[in-house]
Each structure stands twice: as structure tokens, then as C-alpha cells.
Structure 1
Amino acid sequence: MKENTQYTEDNIRSLDWKEHIRLRPGMYIGKLGDGSSADDGIYILLKEIIDNCIDEFVMGAGKTIDISIKDNIVSVRDYGRGIPLGKVVDVVSKMNTGGKYDTRAFKKAVGLNGVGTKAVNALSSFFKVESSRDSQLKVAQFAQGNLELEEGPSETSKRKGTKVSFTPDETIFKKYKYRNEYIERMLKYYVYLNPGLTIIFNGEKYHSENGLKDLLEDNNNPEDLLYPIIHLKGEDIEVALTHSKTQYNEEYHSFVNGQYTTQGGTHQSAFREALARTIRDFYGKNYEASDIRKSIISAISIKVMEPVFESQTKTKLGSTDMGGNFPTVRTYVNDFIGKYLDNYLHKNPETAELMQRKIVQAERERKELSGIRKLARDRAKKASLHNKKLRDCRVHLGDMKNERRLDSTLFITEGDSASGSITKSRDVNTQAVFSLRGKPLNSYGMSKKIVYENEEFNLLQAALNIEESIEDLRYNNIVIATDADVDGMHIRLLLITFFLQFFPELIKENHLYILQTPLFRVRNKKETIYCYSPEEKLEAIEKLSGKPELTRFKGLGEISPDEFRHFIGGDIRLEPVMLDKSMSIEQLLEFYMGKNTPDRQKFIINNLKVELDLVEENQL
């Protein structure tokens, strides 16, 4: 058999730095996305630039960062030392060039490898850097990583520092939109980790005096917390912790050198271990670690010399050493918690008593659940062998070396026709489907026991792999995909109630979404436009002129798999489910699923306005 494909020297090519980044953006910024998810690439671009400003602040240069986003032009200005003028172009466009390699200039920096700014440059249709120092200004402007303009150094009266402006390239980030909620959350984390720093975003000021204590207070309603937050600080470590009255699982916010390590790592493992050991020693009882940590809400931040992360997006710490003359991360965290948490509990007996009561309650609940858990696991094992509810995908969130892991998605659907359409049109690599049988149970006010007794909830928990901890979550995005009608709205509320009641941290960490699907299709022989609201429908009719064909989709099952491919592919529209911090979780559950109230009726009617408009329209 003749071999057609030749493999010669001509097949070997070297990509320059910007080509490589543009060809494989996932290696540098994780997933692309459109801005509907907090870990989408457009936020990573912003973060990479801010990280450099933070490193300046940490080195004692510049206490304010100005950020603005207008018409998709992102601008970030610090008042640090400014990039050395002769190296401005090199720092933003030459790989393996940067100040972070010199540990004298940046002792405990976040952006260690100098790739971040280059990635932003390569992935931006417009990128401009301005450095001001010693009354001199240097400016360089790029497009897709190509230098287009270089000016200076010239005399300037501007304050010293660096300003970077960029526009994410729409050929890579399609139909993207920055969501202020995600940016505000990111900026809050920066100020929690850097007390004394002020960030001004579009005119709004962010500042924190109490670090990680502020983080836990701002993320939770005080009524949900069992006792006042324990706040401990050391030379290169800070810890805040409390227990929740309402949630079941453990919740951790962990940071290294100001970097939010969403996947944890050696510092978080050491913290969990140290908590259990210190509390056992304090009470003199050999409590189970899971009972001690059940319902904990906590945050830990450490500073490490030359940290090793498991990916470019720095979501998991791999380092075992603190650097310098310090011991290992594990020993350092263990010694700190062992000393300072023990002291705190001795000085605050009321907190110590509340904590012990919570541990004893967790122990009692675990023993009550142990029998039913075993039955449920056996049932789930049998079901998973022929589980028709879950059609899994190949890539999961825990696959740390797979650049598509952040795209991993579980669609929760209702009814065979809807799940059939999604199953046939999904990307089998990153999209899984879980089919509900009718309306799920209303779990409001029920105990965790119901998760094991109810087959559907138990299988959903098993599919997500969140029984022990959300650290093991298998999918980055959990998407509720129901019809846009009264029944669909009710199913959404029932599912949100389930997550709010038993796994609120999934919502807090922005993993839960509602799938937006089109209500109308407007088309002529040349073009098809899908519309998500009556307003979009009117615009489409006007655009196509004449008498275009108009189709109203009443349910997901009516949309053919070929068409559905668009709505869960590149053009997917997701609406994030977010917690309202002004209401406690108990209040939220009572509002949504308690006794029927006029408030809830008004809420549902307002949220189904599109549906009611359609009914009136059909009656005309």
C-alpha cells in the first residue's frame, strides 16, 4: 500500500511567541468563553495585567490601581515604579523576559514566568502600554501581538507607573461581554489579600482593612454563621474561619501570593489537616476529621518564595516548600494553626463551646446517615452500571492537564425530548447530560437524609461527585436546561432549592447557570436569526424585511438537534445563578419555596413576562 502522506523537514515549523499563544490560547488563559462564566478568558486577561500591579504594591510601590472598562476597552493603571523604559517593548512581547525572574526585585510575586502580559498582548486586537518614570514616558502599541507604534522616551509630567489598555480580539473571544459582578468579586479578593490597597473600578472604590475576615463577612449573611469569625495572622500566613448554620459541605477560599487557588493545593490540604489535629488536641477527643470540618467556611492565604503552580492559570499550588529558611508548607501551616487556633479557643470559651456542639451534631447526623448512605451507594453503583440518566463526557474538571477541563459542563434536563435534542447535538468531549424524570422533589426544609433517599437527587449528587466535597466536582458548569414556561420555571426553582439547601457553595463559586434558549426563529431564504426575546424578534423581522417565516419554540424538544448545536456550542447563552448576600440562605429558601406568598407570585409573574406577552400576542 502506497503511503500518501510524506513527513519531511518541510512539515516541521516553529511558531513565534504570538502565533503559539493565538493557536493554543487555552494553554495560557484556560477556556475562552463569552464572559458569562467567572473563569472565562476575558477575565483572565484582566487578571494577568492586575497581577503585575499587585506585585508593585507588594514591593511597596503604589497604593492605588485605577481600572476602567468602557466599550470593551480595558484600561489598568498603577502608580508603581514603571517598567524600565528601555525594556517596555521586550517586557510585553518577548517570551522569558521580565522582572519576576530577578527575586531581588520581586520576592513573593504572583506573575512568575512573565508569560501573562505577552498572552494579553497576543490575544488583543488593540494593546497599548505606557510606562512613566524619572519624568520620562515611553509608549508602545500593538495589534495581535505585532508592534505598530513606538514613541519616546519623552518628557512627561505624569505620575510614575504603568498603564496598560487593551481590547480582547473578537476573532478569538466571540460575542463577549464583561460582567461587572465577576470583576467586582475579583477586585474584592485583591483588596482582601492586600489590606491598604485601593482599587478604583469605573469610579467605584474597593478597599479592605480586615483582610480575610472581610472576605467571609462579605460572602455570607451574618445570620448564616454559627459564631464570630476567627481571624489569625502571622508573618506569611493569614487565616479566617467559622462554621455555617445552614450548609453541609466544607468551604475553602485559598490563596498563594495573592493568587486565588480555586483548585486548592498543598497549602489547603495542610490547613484541613491542621484544623482537625488542633481541634482534637484542644477538646482531647478523637473526633472524625469530617465531623470537625463539616459546615466550615474558611479562608487561608500564604506567601511562598518562587511558588510552583500546576498550570499557567495558577489555580492549584504544587509547591511543598515555603522557600528561604522556612520549613515545608505543611509544617509551617500545621505549626501556625496548632499554636494560634489553640490560643484563640482557650481565650474564647463561648466560641469553643459552639464549635464543639456543632461537631457533636455532625457526628450524630453522620451516624444516623451511615446506614442509608450505604444503601444509597449500593443503589447508585448498580444504577451507574446502566444509568440512563447520565450521558457522560470525556473531559472533567479534575483533569488538570487537559486544557479543556474548564469547559466541562453538565446539562440537567427534564423529559426525553429535551434531553434527546441536547444529547444528539452536544460536544461529547466536554458536555454531559443528566435527565430528570418529571419535576424533582421540593427539598425545602428537609434534612440531608432526603439526598440519599431520593433516587434522583442521589444520582445527581453521584454524577457531580460532590458527596464529600466540591473539590471533587466533575463539571465546571452545571446548567439547568428547562423550557421557558411556567413548568420550566418551577423545575428551575426546585433544582435551585436543592443546590441552595445542600450545596450552596456551588452557587457561591459560580458553577450554576440557567441555559437561555431562543423563543423564536425568524428566517428567509438567505438568513436565519434566533431570537431570545420579543424585542429581538421585532429587530429580526425588521432586518430581514418582506415577510420572513416566523416560528415560536414552545419547548426544548421542538428544537431539532441540528439547530440545538448552535445554542449549546459557540453561541451558548448562560445566565449565572447568584446569591443575594442581603438575604440569608434560610430567607432565600423561605421566599422561593415556603408558604405561597404574594411576593413570590409577583416575582414569578415578572420573570415570566416574556411568556405572558406571548399569550396576549397569540390572543390578538
Structure 2
Amino acid sequence: MTEDTFNNDDLFTAPEDTGTDNDLDSTTEAEAEVTGYSEDEIRTLDWKEHIRRRPGMYIGKLGDGSNFDDGIYVLIKEVLDNGIDEFMMGYGKQITLDVEGGTVTVRDYGRGIPLGKVVDVSSKMNTGAKYDSKAFKKSVGLNGVGIKAVNALSTEFFIRSVRDGQSKSVSYSRGEIIEESRLESTDDPDGTLVRFTPDVSIFRDFQFQEKYIVPLVKNYTYLNTGLAIVFNGKRFISRGGLLDLLRDNMSVEPLYAPIHLKGDDIEITVTHANQRGEEYYSFVNGQHTTQGGTHLTAFKEAASRTMKEYFKRDFDYSDIRNGMIAAISIKVEEPVFESQTKTKLGSRDVGPEGPTVAKFVGDFIKTELDNYLHRNTDVADIILKKVQESERERKAMAGVTKLAREKAKKVNLHNKKLLDCRIHFNDPKGDEEKKRASSIFITEGDSAAGSITKIRNVETQAVFSLRGKPKNSYGVPAKILYENDEFNLLQAALNIEEGIDGLRYNNVIIATDADVDGMHIRLLLLTFFLQFFPDMIKKGHLYVLQTPLFRVRNSKTAKRGGRNKNAANEETYYCYTDEERVAAINKLGDNAEITRFKGLGEISPDEFRGFIGPDMRVDRVTLRKEDAVDELLEFYMGKNTMERQNFIIDNLVVEDDSHLNSEDLQD
């Protein structure tokens, strides 16, 4: 249930200078610059230079492709969006997407860009057809920025439009025109082809990963029934829309067949499952709004109110939504998003002359969901039973949770186990990039936390040290979250007692030792989150920190004080696997000195600095339908002692290489 190791630039923000003599010199220079402030200092950046200097404004985080929301996937989305808009307008039923190495090719079969405007559309900011709502009434992108950002951030960018038997193409490099063709006759079908290669100087060591592209492609097909997207030769198409999305993404069995309702410019599907918390997928004009927005807020309010009025009971909305899994897609004119990456809808109205988003969504759900419940009383009975169970559990825990929260509040005032940071994911205001970088390391005890604590970035990196092994939470009632001090303080630190909407840290990172006890603690924490906060995992907030198992360095260099891999002589290597260790030993030969790191506390702060810095390696914990989580937890964390014991005996592998020297390992 974890994904491959990756380097994540955006889990780290460089720490501020601590104040040295050099800082004084820098301050003096800065003051001199300010003193010399004049008209000569004022300059205007051209479009491509601004994008290249501030790529985060246009595509969010950069990254190397190891995370699903890294910028290279936003580049793909920006190009695909134009083909999707054509399909939404009734032109072109297929889009081909090919990714080979670091190059992406997208071909749609829409109307094609007007040939006289190919250069303008691809290289002039704020240029496009989508400002005219008659042509693109409910488009994904309206600002005329997306494809220009792809152009500016690519070493090679090629665009070709085919329209009415003629074609026009332009080649760019980093936004500069390299070659522009004349109009040419062609027998090719109408549409637009875009081919680009992201700039390695911006997306360092990037690599496209199919496991992140496929969900993007699937979402487009769910939201545009009948559209076929052929990705690297494999065809994706959906006939059920959001119903297919929910069925493909649910990791647990629903209590009843999902309710599926469609109307003009709105589609919803909703069900309940025996899981804690709420789980939502929201979309606007085909854009996956991962952070929700006004449409999702309206849906949650309207669905809760409609069910409450149907049952004629004074249910708490939290009881109605507990265990709810739902998806909503709406289309609005001229949508307003809170950033260029379009992850959260800010629009209040569905159009210049339309109702508010809240009224539009609310009226639809009030009518359609209420009618459905009256027509399908068996489903209504199942929902009623689920809501009543949630209500009973909440009331039974009321006393426990109240005392636990009071205790946690008192402890947190002087909680030495939590070393907080200054910037949090749920801050109402502030730098969005730093808020995304906000992280908390969950460590096993003070010793393990020591190195991280000393070199962490106090702006964006917090540390929570466990007092010991947490309780096995598999199969226990929810009140254990509050009766167990460790879990109570942890969820209070994360601010997830009422759900993850108030999550304080975007990245929750389990940092345990690479030994048996560390692995056990990791499993106990994963069980805790899987059991009670699965949406933490589904929203991509939970990670496991990978630290090196070995340090291999030149023994002669070590005696001279060589300490890190950034030294000029490059004589120290940190190895995360046996393969990396052997490779390092082969490089150093007989002079190899090998150190095995068994615990985080054994790694010095100076060495640890790189392990939670820009090249930090983490595994993102994932949760998929095919993971069969219930069965896995039952086997590994349940009470089937003999079955598990026999499995361990049958699969136990004992490796003892303590007697091996560097020559043996080279062989």
C-alpha cells in the first residue's frame, strides 16, 4: 500500500540563515541596493521569463514526478484540457496521449486552432477563444495561460493545427520560436497536436510515472462519458460517469448501491460504507478540485439537510455524513478558481445571470435526492440504520471525548512531545507553497527525534515523538482514540478529531528506525490511520520516511575528516538498499568503511540534514480497491496468532553478513 520511493522538493523549504558574519555582509549589500533604488531598477519581465522564474504560480509544486500532484503532470493536464473543451463543445470523440521517456504527445480531433492564431495561442499571454462564453461556455481554462506555461517550461515544444485540409506548425524552445511553417495542405483530420519535453533545469531528474497519469486519464473519461482517451496504446472510456468513478475508487464495500443522479450541468453519486469519516471527489468543468470549494460545501450541506428532512429526525449533520462516500461534478460559466492549478472552486455563482452555486446545487439535491429516497425506501432504511449507529456511537463517546479533549488541551500547552512549526496547512492566510510544505515527523521516542529536531526547518517542519509503541488499534472501538493518551495527543496535534478538513500539516511523515521495533511501530501507526482516518491516506497526506541503512566512505578520507557526500572528494555514500551499498563499495574498493544505521538516533544531525532536505526520500501510503485492506489488517494485526506464526516460520529469511568484508561484497 505504499508507492515507490521518490525525492520530493516540496516537503522541504530551505531554513532561514541563522545569523553569521556573512549575513552582516549580505545585509549591507541589500541596504546598498535599497539605497540605490531608482527608475533604473524597475524592469518588466516578458511572459516566458516570468513563468520560468515563478513556475509555482502557474503549475503549483515542481517535483520530479514522484508525487501525483507534481508539476509535470499539471503540464499534461493543461494540454489535455484543450482537447477536453473541444469534446465538451461537441467536437472530437477521441484524444491520444503518448508518453515516451520525457516527451509527451497529445493529439485531439476537435476543430483545430484557427491557423492564423497558432502562434498567438501558444505564446501570447491572455490570448485564447475562451473569453467568449459563446464559444467555450463552460470551459476548464479561461485565462489563456495554461499552454503558454507548458511552452515556457519545455526545452522542446511543438504545436500543429489541422483545419479544413490545411495545417500550421510552430516549434519552440523555452518559449522562443525556433521554426514556423507556412500553411500546408494535408489529408489529416482536423484537430491539434502538441508535443513537449519539460525542461530538466526546472524539473530536475524528472520521470513520468504511469501510475499517476492513468488516474488523470480515467477522471477525464468519468466526467466526459463517451470520450475515449488512448494512453500509450490503451483505450480508456466510461459509460457510467461518476458511478464508474465511485465503483473504481472505493476501497470498501458500500452499504447500498450508489445513488446516481444527473441533471443539466450537474451530476452526483453518493453512498455510505462502514468506515469512519467522509470521502468526496469533486469536479468543476472536468477539473478535479482536490481541495473542494463552494460546490462541495453546498453538496455536503444540501445532502445532509435533505436526508434530515426526509427522516424527520433531529439528526446531527456529522452523523448523517459519517461513512459517506460521494462525488459531485458541476459545470459553470467563467469559473473562478483560487489558483492557476484550479484545485479549489471560489465561484459564488454558476454564471453571470445564473443562481448561486449553493442554490443551484441545493435545489437539485433537494428535489432529486428526496424523490430517490421516497422511491427507494429500502435504501432509505439502510441509510437510517447507518445514521442511527453513528449517532449512538457519538453519544456513547461524548463523555470520553470531552474528558480526553480537555486533557489533551492541558497537555498540549506544555507538550514536550510536539515541537511545532510556524506555518500550517490549515492557516487561513499565508504563502500557499509553504502551507503545502508543512510537515510533521512522527518519531519513536526522544532519541529518534533528536537529529530531526536539531536540523529541521522550524517554519514548515514539526516533530511529534511517541512515548513508546502505540496500541494495536485493529478491531477496537473508536473510543480507544480518546482513552489512549498516545492516540489522543496525536490526533489533537494533527487536528483531525472532527475530520481532516482542519488538518494542520499537509505531509504527515512516519519516521521510525529501520529495525524490527521500528517496522512494528510503523505498522501500528498505519493500522491506526487505516482504521480511523482512511481519508488521510486517500487524500495523499500520509508518508513513510526512508533513511539510509548504510554509510560507505573511504576510510582514508574519514581519517582526514571527510564527512558527507557533498564534499569535494565525493568519498562518502549513503545507501538505502543493499544494491546501493555494493555499488558504493565497488567504487571505493579496499578503503571502504561501512557503517550500518539501525536507528535514527545513530545518525548525526549534520548527516541527517540531507535526509529531510530537498532530496528527502519518502513513500506515499496509498489505498486502492485491490489492496483488500480488511483482509490484510485481519491477517497481520488481528488475533490469528497461529496462522501468522506459521507464515513467519515458513517465510523467515536470516541474513548475517557481519563476517563479510569489502572484498567479499565486491565478489
Q: Give 3-state SS (helix, strand or coil) of 2:615's partner.
A: coil
2:282 is the alignment partner of 1:242 = no
2:163 is the alignment partner of 1:133 = yes
Residue in 1 aligned with 2:549?
519
- 1:604 and 1:351 map into 2 onto residues whose CA distance is 47
- 2:405 and 2:521 map into 1 onto residues whose CA distance is 26
2:120 is the alignment partner of 1:76 = no
Provide Cα deviations, 1:76-123, integer angstroms capped at 9, x if missing partner. Answer: 221112222222222122111112112122110111112111122222
1:322 aligns with one of 350, 353, 358 = 350
Residues 420, 461 of structure 2: 8 Å contact kept: yes
Residues 193, 258 of structure 1: 8 Å contact kept: yes
2:333 is the alignment partner of 1:305 = yes
Q: Give 3-state SS (helix, strand or coil) of 1:28's partner.
A: helix
- Give 1:413 deviation, angstroms: 1.3
- 1:458 and 1:432 map into 2 onto residues whose CA distance is 18
Q: Percent identity?
A: 61
Task: Go from structure 1 to structure 2 and tell me whether the alpha carbon gap of 1:126 and 1:546 turns closer, same or farther (over 3 Å shift).
Answer: farther
- Give 1:338 deviation, angstroms: 0.8
- 1:604 and 1:213 map into 2 onto residues whose CA distance is 44
Task: Go from structure 1 to structure 2 and tell me whether the alpha carbon gap of 1:271 and 1:150 turns closer, same or farther (over 3 Å shift).
Answer: same
Provide Cα deviations, 1:439-488, integer angstroms capped at 9, x if missing partner. Answer: 11110001110111111212221222222222222222221111222222
1:272 aligns with one of 282, 300, 313 = 300
Task: Go from structure 1 to structure 2 and tell me whether the alpha carbon gap of 1:94 and 1:212 turns closer, same or farther (over 3 Å shift).
Answer: same
Report the residue type matching 1:305 in the other structure: E
2:604 is the alignment partner of 1:574 = no
Q: Give 3-state SS (helix, strand or coil) of 2:573's partner.
A: strand
- Give 1:376 deviation, angstroms: 1.3
Residue in 2 aligned with 1:469?
499
Residue in 2 aligned with 1:224?
253
Residues 36, 573 of structure 1: 8 Å contact kept: no
Give unpaired runs (5+ residues) of structure 1: none
Provide Cα deviations, 1:35-90, integer angstroms capped at 9, x if missing partner. Answer: 23222212212211111121111111111111122212122221112222222222
Residue in 2 aligned with 1:538?
582
2:234 is the alignment partner of 1:204 = yes
Provide Cα deviations, 1:269-319, integer angstroms capped at 9, x if missing partner. Answer: 111111121112211112111111111111111110101111111111111
Give unpaired runs (5+ residues) of structure 2: 1-27, 558-568
Residue in 2 aligned with 1:19?
49
- 1:523 and 1:566 map into 2 onto residues whose CA distance is 16
Provide Cα deviations, 1:490-526, integer angstroms capped at 9, x if missing partner. Answer: 1111111001000111112222121122222334451
Residue in 2 aligned with 1:35?
65
Residue in 2 aligned with 1:173?
203
1:590 aligns with one of 627, 631, 634 = 634
- 1:603 and 1:572 map into 2 onto residues whose CA distance is 32
Report the residue type matching 1:592 in the other structure: Y
Task: Go from structure 1 to structure 2 and tell me whether the alpha carbon gap of 1:540 and 1:378 turns closer, same or farther (over 3 Å shift).
Answer: same
Report the residue type matching 2:303 in the other structure: L
- 1:208 and 1:253 map into 2 onto residues whose CA distance is 17
2:424 aligns with one of 379, 389, 396 = 396
Report the residue type matching 1:173 in the other structure: F
- Give 1:248 deviation, angstroms: 1.1
Residue in 1 aligned with 2:529?
499
Residues 166, 183 of structure 2: 8 Å contact kept: yes
Q: Give 3-state SS (helix, strand or coil) of 1:397's partner.
A: coil
Residue in 1 aligned with 2:14?
none
Report the residue type matching 2:231 in the other structure: F
Residue correspondences, number: 615
- Give 1:396 deviation, angstroms: 2.4
Normalization by structure 1: what TM-score? 0.94
1:121 aligns with one of 138, 151, 164 = 151
- Give 1:193 deviation, angstroms: 0.8
Task: Go from structure 1 to structure 2 and tell me whether the alpha carbon gap of 1:8 and 1:600 turns closer, same or farther (over 3 Å shift).
Answer: farther
Q: Give 3-state SS (helix, strand or coil) of 1:110's partner.
A: coil
Residues 224, 584 of structure 1: 8 Å contact kept: no
- 1:154 and 1:185 map into 2 onto residues whose CA distance is 37
- 2:578 and 2:545 map into 1 onto residues whose CA distance is 18
- 1:42 and 1:504 map into 2 onto residues whose CA distance is 27
Q: Give 3-state SS (helix, strand or coil) of 1:224's partner.
A: coil
- 1:491 and 1:579 map into 2 onto residues whose CA distance is 19
Residues 127, 143 of structure 1: 8 Å contact kept: yes
- 2:111 and 2:389 map into 1 onto residues whose CA distance is 54
Normalization by structure 2: what TM-score? 0.88
Residue in 1 aligned with 2:596?
552
Report the residue type matching 2:298 in the other structure: A
Provide Cα deviations, 1:320-353, integer angstroms capped at 9, x if missing partner. Answer: 1111543111111111111111111111111100
Q: Give 3-state SS (helix, strand or coil) of 1:126's partner.
A: strand
- 1:457 and 1:412 map into 2 onto residues whose CA distance is 12
Q: Give 3-state SS (helix, strand or coil) of 1:101's partner.
A: coil
* CA RMSD, Structure 1 to Structure 2 (Å): 2.4
Residues 244, 296 of structure 1: 8 Å contact kept: yes
Moved more, 563-572 or 148-157: 148-157
Task: Go from structure 1 to structure 2 and tell me whether the alpha carbon gap of 1:483 and 1:408 turns closer, same or farther (over 3 Å shift).
Answer: same
Residues 101, 208 of structure 2: 8 Å contact kept: no
Moved more, 478-487 or 233-242: 478-487
- Give 1:614 deviation, angstroms: 5.3
Report the residue type matching 2:605 in the other structure: P
Q: Give 3-state SS (helix, strand or coil) of 1:412's partner.
A: strand
Q: Give 3-state SS (helix, strand or coil) of 1:308's partner.
A: coil
- Give 1:16 deviation, angstroms: 1.5
Residue in 1 aligned with 2:508?
478
2:590 is the alignment partner of 1:562 = no
Q: Give 3-state SS (helix, strand or coil) of 1:38's partner.
A: coil
Task: Go from structure 1 to structure 2 and tell me whether the alpha carbon gap of 1:281 and 1:200 turns closer, same or farther (over 3 Å shift).
Answer: same
1:414 aligns with one of 444, 450, 453 = 444
- Give 1:616 deviation, angstroms: 8.1
Task: Go from structure 1 to structure 2 and tell me whether the alpha carbon gap of 1:359 and 1:70 turns closer, same or farther (over 3 Å shift).
Answer: same
Moved more, 128-137 or 340-349: 128-137
Report the residue type matching 2:328 in the other structure: I
Residues 437, 507 of structure 2: 8 Å contact kept: yes
Residues 636, 644 of structure 2: 8 Å contact kept: no
- 1:214 and 1:613 map into 2 onto residues whose CA distance is 50
Q: Give 3-state SS (helix, strand or coil) of 2:69's partner.
A: coil
2:504 is the alignment partner of 1:460 = no
- Give 1:357 deviation, angstroms: 0.7
Choose between structure 1 and 2 for higher RCO, CA contacts under 8 A separated by at least 6 residues.
2
Q: Give 3-state SS (helix, strand or coil) of 2:598's partner.
A: coil
Task: Go from structure 1 to structure 2 and tell me whether the alpha carbon gap of 1:514 and 1:411 turns closer, same or farther (over 3 Å shift).
Answer: same
Task: Go from structure 1 to structure 2 and tell me whether the alpha carbon gap of 1:615 and 1:488 turns closer, same or farther (over 3 Å shift).
Answer: farther
- 1:586 and 1:217 map into 2 onto residues whose CA distance is 17
Residues 522, 541 of structure 1: 8 Å contact kept: yes
Residue in 1 aligned with 2:369?
341
Residues 294, 348 of structure 2: 8 Å contact kept: yes
- Give 1:419 deviation, angstroms: 1.3
Task: Go from structure 1 to structure 2 and tell me whether the alpha carbon gap of 1:325 and 1:151 turns closer, same or farther (over 3 Å shift).
Answer: same
Report the residue type matching 1:239 in the other structure: I
Provide Cα deviations, 1:348-387, integer angstroms capped at 9, x if missing partner. Answer: 1111001001111111111111111111111121122112
